[in-house]
Structure 1
């Protein structure tokens, strides 16, 4: 086929190439494509001249505008820090009661506290702070060590059974595994403990509950108190409410008494600033309803 032969269907010239009877048209590049190629090339040249663009090995071309992303980010961080300092300085210099009495300041504390909680605490306690098996429900205000902002801040700072030298320390004995109680005694005290939180005893369990109460009085009151309401100075939970850390069904309570428990909370004093801990303590204290 000769170059320049006109295609009878389209009226366009062909290139002279043919495959299996199919002739290739000599179609020009669309003008819109040429336009965008030209526009993007022009934009690139202008950008290279005005903005930082080309690495030079030891540095880079600065551009006529002298734009610096790092300086922009640094300024944004500096401005945000200055804006945050307006209220964080007040938090740092005020006691908890004063902060709680200031609605405007508490709004800033709550907003920032929620972010701190989601970034650092939600992995264990959940975004809603309601915990799960092995992790306390912070919204229920069933505090192990006390629920005032001051006490919560100390717990956050030093942790529980953590590596901090001032860590809060708490452990429940393994009464069954260590041979302190036999299985009948454990079953009896489990029935009694569950009855403290309102669990309905089975018919004919009066003798069992009485025996469980005797086991409780001999082995459990030192930590949980005569009334079973716990002791915050020891981190011993209140057994009379319905807030169970490891589950309140018969088997879960049996496992707790038999094998013991030792929870763990990391200390945050090395990771969070004193102001962050203060803000987080106020936020956690504000969760849920009134303390029971």
Structure 2
């Protein structure tokens, strides 16, 4: 309800004339502190608009009296960071892989900084020390899908495997069972032959024939794999998904398509080069991945 404005006898403030259930609303002024902060904020905004780049003007913007350009600030910071770069970093970027590997001092830096990079970016999948795990290759074993030369490793790190990079390495094993290319007895025959390749019981002639007809195109007639296709060597004791009968059966039946992300967007050229050298050294036994 509304009534006439009057002065409140207790606070001394005028009322607004509004009343609810006998309670009259006071017309109290805004506190001075609030006015102070509002005025200060507006003045600061005006000064900022004048001094700093602020208003868009089509294809350009107001430059401000101070003429500050954040791009120039960033470029200046990058130049200063490059000037403070330790000499070994510049040497790693400048030299080829063979020259770096032949330099004990540089390799000492690679091992030290590579261990940190590997722990931060790779160990979640490949395990500490590159020991691998189900579905993730053991990098310390030296059993490579795409090759273990540092140059090759650097490219794999850059583009990834089955990633969204336009130059990604691509590899996929067909699902011979799910897609009905092989029957269950034939899969079991191939399974027996595959297990025999790495020291298991001798496989059957059927398994050898089926392997030659369906698997040798990628894994090679001698089953030593093909790095140009990312096909693993089936004769060594290293398995990505597991070498027991059940796992091999699932691999043949459902196929496999591993994934490794591209790192060109997250890691610098220097970091990728250090990682490639570190992983190659890891497989060669130059480090145990713990220091």
Question: Normalising to structure 2: TM-score of the pair?
Answer: 0.69
| Match of residue 154 from structure 1 | 155
Q: Pick one of 238, 255, 259 that aligns with 2:250.
A: 255
What is the rounded CA distance, in whole Å, between the counterparts of 1:153 and 1:85 in structure 2?
Answer: 22
| Match of residue 229 from structure 2 | 234
What is the rounded CA distance, in whole Å, between the counterparts of 2:80 and 2:162 in structure 1?
Answer: 39
The superposition leaves residues 178-211 of structure 1 with CA deviations (integer Å, 9 ceiling, x where unpaired) of 000000000000000010011134xxxxxx5211
What is the rounded CA distance, in whole Å, between the counterparts of 2:265 and 2:118 in structure 1?
Answer: 16
| Match of residue 269 from structure 1 | 264
The Cα of 1:85 is off from its aligned counterpart by 3.0
What is the rounded CA distance, in whole Å, between the counterparts of 2:114 and 2:247 in structure 1?
Answer: 33
Q: Pick one of 225, 241, 244 that aligns with 2:220.
A: 225
The Cα of 1:288 is off from its aligned counterpart by 3.4
| Match of residue 130 from structure 1 | 131
Alignment of 1:191-202 (within 5 A): 191-201=192-202
Alignment of 1:136-175 (within 5 A): 136-175=137-176
CA, structure 1 residues 107+83, in 2 after alignment: closer, same or farther (shift >3 Å)?
farther
Alignment of 1:1-292 (within 5 A): 84-201=85-202, 209-289=204-284
Moved over 6 A (4+): 77-81
Deviates more, 1:228-237 or 1:82-91: 82-91
The Cα of 1:84 is off from its aligned counterpart by 4.0
Q: Structure 2, unaligned stretches of length 5 or more? A: 1-39, 45-77, 286-291
Conserved 8 A contact 2:174-2:256: yes
What is the rounded CA distance, in whole Å, between the counterparts of 2:79 and 2:131 in structure 1?
Answer: 36
What is the rounded CA distance, in whole Å, between the counterparts of 2:181 and 2:125 in structure 1?
Answer: 32
Conserved 8 A contact 2:125-2:136: yes
What is the rounded CA distance, in whole Å, between the counterparts of 1:79 and 1:132 in structure 2?
Answer: 42
1:139 match: secondary structure: helix
Question: Normalising to structure 1: TM-score of the pair?
Answer: 0.69
The Cα of 1:128 is off from its aligned counterpart by 1.7
Conserved 8 A contact 2:129-2:282: no
Q: Structure 1, unaligned stretches of length 5 or more? A: 1-55, 59-76, 202-207
2:158 match: secondary structure: helix
What is the rounded CA distance, in whole Å, between the counterparts of 1:143 and 1:83 in structure 2?
Answer: 37
2:234 match: secondary structure: coil
CA, structure 1 residues 148+263, in 2 after alignment: closer, same or farther (shift >3 Å)?
same
Give the paired residue count. 212
The Cα of 1:237 is off from its aligned counterpart by 0.1
